[in-house]
């Protein structure tokens, strides 16, 4: 019975990570259907794994799941010989009442940001998604990407600068400087 309750706790923690894992998968592959398949394969591998993180909290499982997902994705890319793409789908708050103008404005801004993210080279796009959208620490990102934290910080700085320049090119009248992307 203790094995079932432990699996239940593990399963609950996996379910709690689904939105983040899907968002990261979508950021890697750019296709909602393929992202869902990546998530399913990630969960299949996680459930079959002999070694799991000691803590079964969603916060400790997310980086582990991201690593599984990323490794599987890159193996698939190599196997298929296709270039990886990225996208993300920002969550919208449907509970807040908005005017039609603010909805259009927000969607336009999301579209501009999505296009600017899509234009980033994969290593930069990946660190932006993991840091700015998934709110992972530099150490967690370094572990997922299997590189030093300094490399993560360097890529993130370059990614933010590229993203800032792309967004400024789209809307030159927007105020420049820090504050458009979280530092």
pLDDT surpassing 70 at residue 3: no
Q: 59 with 109, same domain?
A: no
Q: 79 with 102, same domain?
A: no
Task: Find out whether 13 and 23 touch, Cβ atoms under 8 Å.
Answer: no
Q: 145 with 70, same domain?
A: no
Block residue for tokens 């501009």? 112
pLDDT surpassing 70 at residue 84: no
- State the distance between the two ends of the chain, measured CA to CA, in whole angstroms: 47
Q: Which residues have CB under 8 Å from 95's CB, separation 6+?
A: none
Instruction: Determine how many CB atoms are found less than 10 A away from the CB of residue 101.
Output: 8
Q: 80 with 146, same domain?
A: no
Q: 29 with 69, same domain?
A: yes
Q: 69 with 103, same domain?
A: no
pLDDT surpassing 60 at residue 91: no
Question: Would you tell me the crossing angle of helices 149-170 and 100-119 to the nearest 10 degrees?
Answer: 130
Percent of the chain's residues with pLDDT above 90: 28
- pLDDT at residue 175 in the model: 56
The C-alpha atoms of residue 48 and residue 68 are separated, in whole angstroms, by 12
Q: 80 with 25, same domain?
A: yes
Q: 22 with 73, same domain?
A: yes
pLDDT surpassing 70 at residue 103: no
- pLDDT at residue 176 in the model: 54
Domain coverage including residue 118: 98-183
Torsion of CA 108, 124, 72, 91, to 10 degrees: -30
Q: Which residues have CB under 8 Å from 139's CB, separation 6+?
A: 149
| pLDDT band per the 50, 70, 90 thresholds, residue 159 | very high
| 3-state secondary structure (DSSP) of residue 90 | coil
Give the residue from 140, 159, 156 showing the smallest Cα distance to 67: 140
The C-alpha atoms of residue 22 and residue 43 are separated, in whole angstroms, by 11
pLDDT surpassing 80 at residue 78: yes
- pLDDT at residue 148 in the model: 94
- pLDDT at residue 92 in the model: 42
The domain tally of the chain equals: 2
Structure tokens at 14: 């996996």
Q: Which residues have CB under 8 Å from 29's CB, separation 6+?
A: 35, 38, 73, 84, 85, 86
The C-alpha atoms of residue 162 and residue 17 are separated, in whole angstroms, by 29
């Amino acid at each position: 019975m203790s094995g079932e309750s432990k699996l239940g706790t593990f399963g609950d923690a996996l379910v709690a990570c689904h939105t983040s894992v899907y968002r990261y998968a979508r950021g890697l592959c750019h296709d909602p259907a393929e992202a869902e398949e990546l998530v399913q394969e990630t969960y299949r591998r996680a459930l079959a794994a002999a070694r799991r993180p000691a803590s079964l909290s969603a916060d400790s499982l997310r980086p582990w799941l991201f690593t599984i997902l990323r490794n599987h994705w890159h193996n698939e890319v190599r196997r298929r010989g296709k270039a990886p793409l990225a996208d993300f789908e920002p969550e919208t708050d449907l509970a807040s009442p908005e005017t039609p103008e603010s909805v259009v404005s927000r969607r336009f801004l999301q579209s501009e940001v999505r296009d600017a993210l899509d234009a980033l080279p994969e290593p930069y796009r990946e660190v932006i998604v993991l840091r700015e959208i998934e709110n992972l620490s530099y150490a967690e990102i370094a572990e997922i990407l299997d590189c030093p934290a300094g490399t993560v910080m360097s890529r993130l700085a370059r990614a933010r600068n590229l993203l800032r320049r792309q967004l400024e090119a789209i809307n030159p009248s927007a105020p420049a400087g820090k504050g458009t992307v979280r530092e």
